[in-house]
Amino acid sequence: MGLENLQHNFLTGTLEGMVKWARASSSWGANFGLACCAIEMMASGAANFDLARFGMEVFRASPRQADVMIVAGRVSQKMAPVLRQVYDQMVEPKWVISMGVCASTGGMFNNYAIVQGVDQIVPVDVYAPGCPPGPETLIHSILTLHQKIRTGEITRRSSAEPGAGVHLGEPDSRRALRVKV
Amino acid sequence: MSGLSNLVPRQLRGFVVTGKLPFKPKVTVQYPEEKRPKPERFHGRHVLNRYEDGMEKCIGCELCAGVCPAKCIYVRGADNPPDRPVSPGERYGFVYEINFLRCIHCDMCVEACPTEAITESKLFEFSFASRSDAIYTKAELLVDDDGLPQQLPWEDWKPGDDRNTSGWVRATSPAGDASSEGRAMWSGELGYGVRRPQRGQSDPSGADYPADTDISLRETLSGALRGIGVDDKRPDRGED
């Protein structure tokens, strides 16, 4: 009949669009300010730039209520396991914005104490450059992430995408069962 | 306490402040539609400039790469081919790469550059979905044949942003002497000509050119006299 390869029909396609719209419109941030980038992140939430226009005004201190982890600042080697634990505690679907050059590559701190890029620890979706990025740069990266949510897959992204793709603490037996998208 | 607050029961006094606020002017900038005006001497994404005849200004001396505290610039120079020289000198920048996930926009490369080849624009609204997008090569940094910066799909250029591509050099004196502030001591740029100096930092009267009057030569002449050395005419701003 030629319909075997049809992935979505009218109903599931509309439902998928609605789910993506809801995810992009209210992606709450996990509160992970580490350095001076956090000041700019706070400024983005304040009245001058007003992240509430994108449904992101609540920065959750609890990772279980958050969708987007904005890693704002340099990550030291000692902070890295904490960051990974917070990421693991977040509920799927979850995304990561690496804000600022220190979080993205280590920036000017090219030394033994700083993780040279948080994508060695968690899979990063969007990188925001700058030292620190201004609120407009952060909003631009958030809009890039929203576009990625709207156009991306609805299920868990595969590890072939940018980012380390490492999932600590996940048994190998479960990894084989995971659906590849 | 004001008289108005005394009329309100104590439990509702906090709402007096809240009730006043809707009538105050709104401060929110609707960012994706409009941008805040950038301050003078703002440091944004780099551009590689060209002379008015289209030659590249970069001579491949690697001073910018040497001074960069984040080690984000990679330059390799090469000898100019005699039949088709790229820059008006012996050597030119053969490879020029900046990793914008390392760059901290300190502008020390602009300070170190002997030919004003690299300057910083005021474009700061960009983000990357992959790391390879963040490494800008010479094809992305160099201005195009009209002298305009390249506008990449992950950058948010608004109309008028391309006129602000060399703020820092024009605001302070390239020779390092404060007495030479306000004098044009730089070469012309493709599409813009010899740009006007901006008001320096040591000027007691202080005020900079506002961004709106800082129009480019391209707009002044409507493209008719592009590439010709034009009299450095400055707008009327009182004594100088």
Give pLDDT tens digits for B81-100. 999 899 998 999 999 999 99
Inter-chain contact B70–A140, Cβ cutoff 8 Å?
Answer: no
pLDDT for position B37: 80
Mean pLDDT of chain B: 79
Which helix (H) or strand (E) covers residue B120, if one does?
strand B118-120
Taking the C-alpha atoms of residue A44 and residue A51, their distance in angstroms, rounded to an integer, is 6
Contacts of B70 in chain A (CB under 8 A): 101, 107-108, 110
Please state the domain extents for chain B: 39-155
CA distance B135 to chain A (A): 11
Nearest CA in chain B to A99: B127
Q: Which of A136, A146, A148, A149 to mutate to test the interface with B (most CBs of B within 10 A)?
A: A136
Q: Which of A45, A86, A144, A139 is nearest to B130 (CA)?
A: A144
The amino acid occupying position A12 is T
User: A173 to chain B, minimum CA–CA distance in Å?
Assistant: 30
B15/A44 Cα distance (integer angstroms): 25
Q: What is the mean pLDDT of residues B165-186?
A: 71
pLDDT of residue B173: 66
pLDDT level of residue B7 (50, 70, 90 thresholds): confident
pLDDT tens digit sequence for A104-142 = 998 899 999 999 999 889 989 999 999 899 999 999 999
Higher-confidence residue of B4 and B120: namely B120
Structure confidence by residue, pLDDT tens digits, A61-107: 889 999 999 999 999 999 999 999 999 999 888 899 999 999 999 88
Closest residue in B to A128 (Cα–Cα): B127
Segment B108-141, tens digit of pLDDT: 999 888 888 999 888 899 999 888 889 999 999 9
Structure tokens at B210: 């506002």
Backbone torsions φ then ψ of B78, nearest 5 degrees: -145, 160
Q: What is the pLDDT of residues A136-149, one digit of tens each?
A: 999 999 999 999 88
| Fold annotation for B39-155 | Alpha-Beta Plaits (3.30.70)
What confidence tens digit (pLDDT) does each residue in B188-200 have? 888 888 877 766 6
Confidence of residue B27 (pLDDT cuts 50, 70, 90): confident
Q: What is the pLDDT of residue A112?
A: 92
Please state the pTM of the whole predicted model: 0.80
Structure tokens at B136: 């800008």
Query: Are B25 and B59 contacting, i.e. CB atoms less than 8 angstroms apart?
Result: no
